[in-house]
A and B are shown apart, each in its own frame.
Chain A
Amino acid sequence: MRRVDMVLSEKGRERLYLLGKSWIFLFLLGEAVIFSFIGTGFFSAKNFQNILVASTTILLLAAGETFVIITGGIDLSVGFVMGLFCVISAKIIVSLQALGFSPVVSLVVSIAGTLLLGLLPGLLNGVLVAKLRVPPFIATFGMYGIAYGLSEILCNNVPIAGLPSLVGFIGNGYLLYYLPGRGFTWFAPPEGLGRGEVRALLALFPNVFLFAILVVLIFAFILSRTQFGQHVYAIGGNIDAARRAGIPVERDLIRVYMISSFFAALSGVMYTLRFVTGRADAGSARMLDSVVAVVIGGASLYGGTGNMIGSIIGTLVIGVLETGMVNLGLPTYNKYVYVGVILVLAVLIDQFFPEMVRKGE
């Protein structure tokens, strides 16, 4: 591979370097263009919002996974931790309602409680990894099993139903509705619409996605601007150097795993809101997606690199693929083949591009 960069001028090398860094963005654009041409109704505001909503789960899991992967670890438990807290959040709502609380109170208590409990798996993972020196792969793989088993026990192997309609109203609602001729309304469409009007109604900014991206951007800020974020990178770059520099490595690692399980729990709550049910398998297939999103977003599984913007773009690559295939009428399991291929491709590019463009050697 060395030969390649030797024949290139400085400028050519610079371009190759940029390409190596931004290939995934071009890939995303390519995907969107292809699906726009061969799909029907792919290129529309409605469908783009579908993509965003469909990407919410991956986005949240990938956001947490970004922190873990930058430290050089991996969290395999996110998919089933998400399922566990999907079940728990639904269960809390149903139980509180049975006790006579109003839907609003039940929902608020459920969300707050779930997010708080959602820190526990991460605390356990973090203590195992940081204090007891269990490899992240093993610690979180154990949690993967524990979370799945617990969630099935909690719901007796049957999805939890009987949630109030308020849940779906929020989970499938939009921030803004626009009806030509009648203007904007917030949170709910205008009442008493005719059939033609329903079709013309334009819904903007899905609630679930808006909330998710808000939380993700807050954590993007934490990762890129704060001292804690800097230490996350330092731990991934050289854990011994971080220790010797006086960085509280163990405490920071525990926090990182707690962030990951917080995002998994949040993702579980979002699932409950959208599908108005609590399922143990809500996120079972999403662990792969989240890791892929982070890795194609530029993070190295060896730790030390990666960023939130990359993970968001990586998420969209999978989201566009998924939605595009549904749009074409292809069964969704086709997706896994492509996602698997993209993952391996991304790792190969990660391995060879730095070789080709390494500067100053």
Chain B
Amino acid sequence: MNERKPLLEVKNIVKRFGGLVALNRVSMEVYPGEVVGLLGDNGAGKSTLIKIVSGVYRADEGEIFFDGKEVKITSPMEALKLGIETIYQDLALAENLNVYSNIFLGREKLKKALGLIPVLDHDYMLQESHKVLNRLGIEIPSLKNKIKNLSGGQRQSVAISRSIYWNARLLIMDEPTAALGVAEQRKVLNLVRTLSEQGVSIIIISHQLYDVFQVAHRLVVLRRGEKVGERLTRETNPDEIVSLMVGAELVQEARGRE
């Protein structure tokens, strides 16, 4: 995997909020089809880093390369145009609309009624949505179901399908399994694997170490705004990662007390 060029490369990113340094010269890269787990305790800077990549914040220093070219991501729309999609915990779905309407939200397919009036092309949107869901192996009883009638995992899959349909190349997932039951968590993790096999790069933020270990190829650990470690998943274990997350001294202290 390493012989290939990274899809995303961030270099020496610095972000300050007033006097607080939220990110201090952080670098990381994501290769095509790779799943990277971004780990760290609360306030470690995970969300800040993600928001810089997805165009919500701007970095004070540092560079971002996408597909080998330097890019300035100044807004979320800019990120979307590059193919960087972020799936936040709230999923950004309109619960009162059905599945395919959400997949096409804001980019509805239109046809001409009577040859001149542009109207929604429901059939097209339904068929295309079926295609993308089938491709990702997602099962939802009816795409005419409103989102509010779906389970948490199904909603997650709809949000993911939407980004994939619109050609996401890098998917950023913020706590994708946090609100789900066990069976649903497994489905979402399977979906992450499927996406990775199909060449989509994924950054996954999660507090559930177990989940991240199941799907991620590589782990990046942040602590207090700095990158404190980077490991290939198969060469590390949860204990080592936790000690990186909270600081080795703390772990030893805790062990000493036992």
Q: Which residues on A are within 8 Å of B, measured CB to CB?
A: 225-227, 230-231, 233-234, 236-238, 240-242, 244-247, 304-305, 358-360
Are the C-beta atoms of A238 and B93 separated by less than 8 Å? Answer: yes
Contact with A along B110-148 (1 / 0, CB 8 A): 100100011110000000000000000000000000000
Task: Find the A residue at minimum CB distance from B145.
Answer: A360
Which of B90, B105, B117 meets A242, CB within 8 Å? B105
| Main DSSP-derived SS at the A contact region | helix
Number of interface residues of B (CB under 8 A): 25
Asked whether A246 and B106 contact (CB < 8 A) given A225-B113, A230-B120, A240-B92, the answer is yes
Determine how close the nearest CB of chain B comes to the CB of A24; give it in whole angstroms. Answer: 19
Which of A227, A236, A241 makes the CB contact (< 8 A) with B108? A227
* Residue numbers in A under 8 Å from B92 (CB-CB): 238, 240-241, 244-245
B21 lies within 8 A of chain A by Cβ: no
Is B228 part of the binding interface, using a Cβ–Cβ cutoff of 8 Å?
A: no
Please name all residues of chain B whose beta carbon is closer than 8 Å to the beta carbon of A244 when the two chains form the complex: 76, 92
- A51 to B108 Cα, complex, angstroms: 40
Tell whether, in the assembled complex, residue A304 and residue B95 are in contact, meaning their CB atoms are under 8 Å apart. yes
Q: In terms of DSSP, what is the predominant structure of the interface of chain B? A: loop
Q: How far is the CA of A202 from the CA of B41 in the complex (A)?
A: 81
Complex interface bits, B143-177 against A, C-beta within 8 A gives 1, otherwise 0: 00000011100000000000000000000000000
Contact present for A240 and B95 (CB under 8 Å): no
| A242 touching B96, Cβ below 8 Å | no
Is B101 in the interface zone, CB < 8 Å from A? yes
CB-based nearest B residue for A227: B108
Supply 5 A–B pairs (Cβ within 8 Å), ascending by A: A225-B120, A230-B120, A234-B94, A236-B96, A246-B106
Alpha-carbon gap, A244 to B94, bound state (A): 11
Residue of B nearest to A302 (CB): B96
Partner of A233, one of B97, B110, B119, B150: B97
Q: A227-B120, A230-B97 provided; 14 other pairs, C-beta below 8 A?
A: A226-B117, A234-B106, A237-B96, A238-B92, A238-B93, A238-B94, A241-B92, A241-B93, A241-B94, A242-B106, A246-B80, A246-B107, A304-B96, A305-B96
Neighbouring A residues of B91 by C-beta, 8 Å: 241
Min distance, Cβ A359 to any Cβ of chain B, angstroms: 6
Closest to B159 in A: A241
Tell me whether A227 and B110 are in contact (CB under 8 A): yes
> Is B71 in the interface zone, CB < 8 Å from A?
no
A360-B108 Cα distance, complex, nearest whole Å: 28
Contacts of A237 on B, CB cut-off 8 Å? 94-97
Check A242 against B149 for contact (C-beta < 8 Å).
Answer: no
Q: Using CB atoms, name the residue of chain B closest to A239.
A: B94
Q: Which listed residue, A230, A246, A358, touches B77 by the CB 8 Å rule?
A: A246
**B203 CB, nearest partner CB in chain A, Å:** 18
Chain A residues with CB below 8 A from B90, complex form? 240
The 9 closest A-B pairs by CB, nearest first: A245-B106, A237-B94, A304-B96, A237-B96, A241-B92, A245-B105, A225-B119, A246-B106, A238-B94
